[in-house]
Structure 1
Amino acid sequence: MTSVETLKPTRRRFTTDEYHRMAEIGVLLEDERVELIEGEILRMSAKGSRHNGCIIALDDLLREQLNRDTAMISV
């Protein structure tokens, strides 16, 4: 039998299907800001003005560098 001292916690990684199912049944709340990254569910910080400024700057940069006829841009 294994003693409690020898047990080590392990991470449980989730699949995309499991993640979506958790949202469907209410384990993850609709307004909860979380993302599934490499199998882990991570809480994300709220978008603020700094975040929005970066998105606008990145969008502008990509539009300047890429041909709009051959690339669809969504940041």
Structure 2
Amino acid sequence: MRYRAVDVITYLKGLGCEYDGERYPHGQIWIAPGDQVFMLPDPDLDDDDRWFDAEVINDNLKDRWVGFKTPLPLKQYA
């Protein structure tokens, strides 16, 4: 299963998370409210859209900050 990258990013920004402008070799560093750091991998390009593997995103976000509930309340695609 996967999430559309735009849905994940819009959701995170709505929770007050921000991309801090830093990168690591395969993704981005984000800051959650309370200054908790978390990583988002680079999305895959498929069918002319960008996608995140839902399992990877849920694993990256669970237990990171009070408020993240996994799986994310976003539509998942096959």
More helix as a share of residues: 1
Higher strand proportion (structure 1 or 2):
2
Bigger RCO of structures 1 and 2 (CA < 8 A, at least 6 apart): 2
Say which one has the larger Rg: 1
**Does the pair score TM above 0.5?**
no
TM-score by length of 1: 0.28
